[in-house]
Every structure is written in C-alpha cells, then in structure tokens.
Structure 1
Amino acid sequence: TLLGSQAPLGTVLEGLVRYVEGWTDGMLCSVMLVDETGKRLRLCAAPSFPGGYAEAARVVSIAEGEGSCGTAAARKQMVIVDDVETSALWRRYASLAVSFGLRACWSVPVLDDAQRLVGTLALYYTVPRRPSGAEMKFIEFAAQLTAFVIRRHAELAELRNGAARLNAVAGTGIGLWERVATNERRWLDDWCGRLGIDPCDGANFEDRWCAQIHPADISRYRSRQAASTPVAAGPYVIDFRVRTARGGWRWVQERSATAVPDAGGTLTSRIGVCIDIDERKRAEFERSLAAERYRTLARLVRGHVFEARIDLNGRIEFTWADDEFAGIFGCEREELNRRGWQSFVDPRDRGAAVDRLAALGRGETVEIELRVSSASGERRWLRMAAEPLAAATPDGDASVIGMAEDITNRKALVEHMLGAIHGEQRRIGADLHDGLGQVLTGVSLLLRSCQTRALRGEAVAPDQIEHLIELVNGAIETTRGLAYGLAPGTAEYGGLFFALSALAQHYRQSGLPIELAAPGEFTLAIDSATADHLYRIVQEAVTNVVRHANATRVNINVTVSPEALIIDVIDDGSGIPEGRRSGFGLHSMHYRADAIGARISVARLQPRGTRVRVRLKR
C-alpha cells in the first residue's frame, strides 16, 4: 500500500517514518529532502517530533557543522553523534535539542541511482548512545528503503502524468501507436476510426498499411521505413496521403519518437504519433495555387505587378514585385525601398506623385503617368495604377496592389506620330495654298471678268467659259489628290492594290526600281481602316529603305491565302543592323500592326538586304 500510494510524497514518507520507528522503542525518525536550491535540506516527515523542535529545525544548510543531517548531506556519509550536547557538529543546535529531550542523532544521506543527494534519514534518541553493529545495518537499510520509496513515488507520478497526457490526446487529431520488434504496429486509441482510415490491425500490417498510401507518396514512405529498423531507428517525420474508407485521400504526418526498453535495457518497441494535417496541407496547396495564379497573371499583364504598403507618414515600401520590376529602376527592390521611390521620380512629377500616394492612403484608386530615372541614369516614362486592398496591415499601414508599365516607347511614338500629323497638316496646307488656292483664285478672277462683261451688256466669250470649266476641273482633280493622300488604301480610291501600285509608280518615277508582285487585282474583305494601316506599314518600310538601306532594288510581294494576307517588302541594301529592333519607323509599324491584329517581323537577309513582313490573319 505504501509503495503504490497516490498520496503526496510527504504523506508517503510519514508512513515510512512511522514504519521505521516501530522497529525500536524510544526512537524518533525524520526525513529531510534537498530543496530547489540544492543547498539546503527541508524537513519533510517527522510525525513524532515535538512541535516546537520540528518548527525550529525545518530548514538546515548542507554544510559541515550543521548538525548530523547537514553534515551527512555535505559529506555524503553516515554521521553518528552519540551526545549532541558535547558534539562540535551540534554547537549551533545543541541547546535547542537538549531542551526538547533529544540527546543522540544518527544521520545517513539518501542517494538516488546516480548517487545524487536526495535527502537524509535521521534517528534520534532521548539518551546519549552509539549504535551497535546491527543498528548500523538497520540505519543503512532504512536509508535504502527511503531512496526506493522516493524513486517509486516519482515513477508512479510519471506514469500517472503519461496516462493523463494520453487521455488528453485521445479524441484529438493525434493518434498514438506502438511499433514492436516484429514490425507490427498497434494503435493505442481510436484515431484511425475517427478519420475513417483502416487501422490495418493484425498480421501483415506493413503491407496492408502501404497499400492504402497514395501512389505519389508510397516510394518516399517505403524509403523512410527501409532506413529504419522497427525499434532502433532515430526519430523521423514524414508527411503522406492515406486513403479513407470513402475513397478520398487525407494528409497525415507520422512521427516516430520514443524507443521503449525492457527491464534489461533492450529496446523492444517504439512509440510514435500520427497527426491529421489534412486541413493544413490543403490550405498550403490553396496558398501555393493562389501564388502561382498571381505569378501567371503578373506575366500576362502588360506591365509589372507589385504589392506595397504605405505607412502613416506617406512612405511607400514595395513588399513584392514580379521578376522584371527591378529592371525599371535599375536596382533590386530592397535598394529601391532603401533609397525611397520618390528619389527616382523626375522633380517635375514629384508633386503629382505625392498627391497620388496620399489618395492611395485614403483608400482611393489612382493612376498616373510620370517620368523616372533609373539608378544608372536612364530616363523612362511609366504609367502606374494602384488600388488599396480592403485589409490594412497589423501596423495600420495601407496595403496596395498595382501595376507599372514602361510607356517610354509609346510616348516617343505618340510624339513622332503627332509630329508626322503636324507635318502632314503643313503639307496639306501648302498644297491647298499652292494648288487648289491658286486654281480657285483663277476661277474667281475669270468669273469677275465674265460679270463685268455681262454688266456692260456684252456677251461672254465661249473661250472664257471653256477656260472656266478647265479651272474647275483642275480644282476637282487637286481636291481628289489631296483626299487620296489622306486615305490612299480605301475602296473609294481603288482599294489597297491600287494604292500599292501608285506607291510603286511614285518611287519608280523618283529613280528607285521597285516592283509590285500581287495575284492580279486582288480584292479583300477588309475595312478601310485596316487597308489604310497596311498601306502605311508598306509605305514606312519603303521609306526606311530609301533613307537607310542604299538599296538598288525593292520588291513588294503580296500573298493571299485562305488563312492570311502576307505582304513582304524586300530590298537588296546594306541590311538592318543585328539586334536593332527600335526606331520610330519600326515602332510605328508595330503600333499599326497591333491596331489591326497583324504581326510584323523584320529579318536581315544573306548576303545582304532586309525583309519586312506583315501578316494579317483572315
């Protein structure tokens, strides 16, 4: 009953002390234990002590001269004091002990299996005396019994704690198992049943258990098992999917932990756990899938996607960006944040940028076009758009998601096209002034002459009427020419074939041999805007040949098939420089091709020359 008691240790030791005191009449017994400091003994059990003495001697230092118990604990040896009144070890406590009728004290240290001090056991007598040989053995036996009772009580407490932990685990997402030397496993609770998994109890556990593991995980699982023996392997952790009774798959984590020895120290089994991690794994998959969707979207969006946060002071920090974002600023995102985004913005645009950041911080969606200079000094135009997310960061900062698009080429192209438009307007103005204006002036003068003759009652001469008709017809032709120059490829003026023929004829008259090869007077079901864009692309390609190629010959080849219309402009000039893909002319052609859903390709030919191809799907 004493050894199996679940009572507190003090109560158990009091029972032991009474048991020891029953061996000899007139003897008082006590047990002191080392306290948490390791430097003192504290009275734990002394049921027969006089009340005053027990209170006075409750704490004793572990040191030489601290009575029989303090000295025995310091020496880790038995200390026999036959008369406390005359002993140097009891100088501090002799008068107290004698006042309570205690004259002799024999103390022995209590040690654990590792020979660490646990406490002391002491026997007191009311008369001075020394122990006999039999009593010496009795004292040693009592100390060993005390040590055993203390150790047994600790083991029982650990068992009870283990059982409590096991009961706490039962019914949760954690399952306990034991794997024995025969490679069989038994479950210590109903974890498998709760998750709808076959526990595979009984013979051939390993094969049956592996048969319900996901095919993508089984090789990894078997490799892990092959690397370990049933009981001697080190701890391991492995995640895998196992089939449920309903035919679905559930993620679990298997952890092998504690090896359990038998009484002789031989490892006989291993204790481990299985944890239900299905929700966590599926959440991780969803996060991974969402991140992949995000990266894919970032690749498909024209421009560069970023995330940022704006603090209460209006400072922006980029927290994520796609791989190409840093190239805009010529430095990594961390350097961009360190230097501050606004330091890259052109001073002329910083005020507007600050205003847009403030609007973002207020929860507004913003868009801005601004100029920036990269870390290397390269100047660019950016179009940036951003929108705040609903949830703020834990610090109260505004979280935003946005896009930055490099529009440098677009800005240059617009500027180039505006210049071209302005030039065309000036040309039309000059043509109107020098051509149509002069003709109409002649018409006006001739009409005034006719009016004067009529007022004098004279007849208008037929040659004047004829001249007037010629002038009017000339005005009509001049007007038609101006209109043709504005939209040469439209159906009203003969269509694309007629326009390309006229273009070739114009350059031949200028001295450049140019030939048009087309399948007759081809007709296409394309609108006027598409025809005009195609004509302008060819016109720009020929113009580039005249300006840059030093060519002696140009061919315009038109191919029509059920799938596509292809127009090639081929010259025998010096050829476009390797790697060159920029320039206003090329940007203009690409812009027009994009506008009608066509594709432009530019190739350097061997041994010389260039081919510009535009392909329009039909």
Structure 2
Amino acid sequence: MKKKAAPEDPSIAELQAALQASEQISSAIVETAVNAIITIDENCFIETVNSATERLFGYKREEMIGRNISMLMPQPYRSRHDRYVKNYLETGVKRIIGIGREAVAQRKDGSVFPIDLSVGEAVLPTGRRIFTGIIRDLTDRKELEDKLLHISEEEQARIGQDIHDDLCQQLAAIGCLAKVAQKNLAKSGCPEAENLAEIVQLVSKANTRARETSRGLMPVVLDSGGLMAALEELAESTARAYEIECDFRYDNPVQVADNKMSVQLFRISQEAVSNAVKHGQANRVDIHLARQSGNIVLTVRDNGVGIPDLASKGTGMGLLTMNHRAQMIGGTLKIEPRTGGGTQVICSVPAPAKNQ
C-alpha cells in the first residue's frame, strides 16, 4: 500500500509567496521609477534597464542589454570608462561609487545631454558583483541655470557701462575742476592749495578704481585684445588694488575666437583670483594660459593658506559658479592644494577647431 505524500510545509509556501511578492514589488518600483535605472556587471555589460532608460536614451531594452555601458557615453568618456572600473576593482579606491556627480550622456540619435549620476555597488550571495546607476536628466535645470547666468552677465555689463559712462565721467570732471581751483590757490599763495592738491590725487585714484571696477564688470574679453589682454589687465589691476604680486604668463599666444568661451574663462579667472586674495590671503597669484593636447588650459595658482575643506568640495557659491561656467563651455574644473602651500585652480576646455 502506497503512502500518501506529506503535505507541503505551509511555512515554506508562505515564504515563497512572500518572496515572489517582494520581487514583484521591487520590479514594479524600478520599472515605474521616473529616473533611469541601469545595472551592469564587473565587465561593464548592461544586465537590466527600466522603462525610463528607454525613454531617456531612445534605445529599446533589447538594444542595450548585453552591451557595454559605454554605449551611453560620448567621447572621450566612452573609451575611458572600462579603465576606470578596472582600476576600482584592482585598487578598491572609490571615485564615483557612492557619490552622486554630474556627468554627460549620449542618446541613440547622438545628442549629448547633462545628467546627475549616482552609482551603487552590491555583492550578491553568489559572490558576483553588480553596479547600479541611477540617472536623472539635467537638461531643463542646466538651461535655467544658463539663462540665469546670462541675465547676471547682462546686468553686470549694464552696471559696468553705467559706471564707465556716468560715474567715471563725473569723477573726471570733478578732478579737473579741483585741479584748476588748486592751481589758482597756489598762484595766490593760499595755504589751502596743498590740501586741495591731495583732494585732486584722491579723486584721480577713485576714478582709476571706478574704471577698473567697470572693466571687471563688463565682458572685456570681447574687446579687440581678446582673452589674453583681459587676463593681463586682470593681473595688473589686482596687483594695484591689493598691493600684491600678480602676473599673467603664457607659453605661446592662445587666441580664443569663441566669445562665450572667452567670457567664461575670464570670469573663472576673476573668481579664482578673488578667492586667492580674499579667502586664501595670498600675496602672490599667477595666472597661466596654455594650449595642451588639444585643450585650452587656464591655471590660477596662489601661495595663500588654502581653502577650507567644505569649500574644496564645492559648497561655496563662488566655487559652484566656477564649476558651472566650466561645464557651460564643455570643460572641467579642478581645485586642489599645492605641494608648497596655497591653492591652484585648473580649468581645461576642448579648444574649438579653429584654435587647434
């Protein structure tokens, strides 16, 4: 006589049902997420994507799964990505994992757009390692930031023009009148002539400072002298205003025909020099412009006390603005301590074809 099979343990059945329900919930959450979610293996091959990834990049799911994640990146990042992952697996040094950062991505149609990228890592019970990337499209936010920055540039230029056309002219007129009065008093032997001579000098200095302020507010790089002339003037005016050493150097003349790029590089220089003097307490600042490996590289070095840790992470508004300006022209910005003390700011931008 055959024995009846023992009924399945209810607890096991319940656990399996609960596990299946949990998997379904997790899958639903990932699939309905607004942001793109992608998982890759240690060899950088895509394992899973959600619907948002398809919408964002323009590829069908089957076109991405099994292919290298670099397909979603523009050059030069595409050719470098696998090396970054390999270096992490060999050294364990995390550069991106666990840290959200801004990057650029490329759609199926070839268009490049800004993203916020967060990368996480998980080791499965089998010992296999997977990486999960969460991607948020920053196109709208970047366009708004660009518009705000453009409005700010226009307003600065307007104020600079007003100072130049109104205040400077009035100071010049006051200086001329005071000088004439001083000469008349001197001819008559009046002792007040000496005091008035001092007033003439002060008005002249005030006029000079007002003109320098005006030039700093206006996009001077649009002048015929270009970026190099603007940086030379920035160094000279900084040395005069703060009574420090400030020099502009270049290995070979670097002509930048792109006005937008010139303006942003000049603004980055302004901010870096201002930070060096006001926050770094430097008494020497060097501005260097060069062309290296197809890039235009702007470097501002100082011998100050350095920048606080929080600022070095980009929490200062000035540093955030510099970083955004660099991104606007397709460049990168690095702020790092110098070996002998002080800080250096390095902005590297791909040179336009006509400048290479």
TM-score category of the 2 structures, normalised to the smaller one: 0.3 to 0.5
TM-score normalised according to structure 2 size? 0.45
Provide TM-score, normalisation by structure 1. Answer: 0.27
Q: Which has the larger radius of gyration?
A: 1
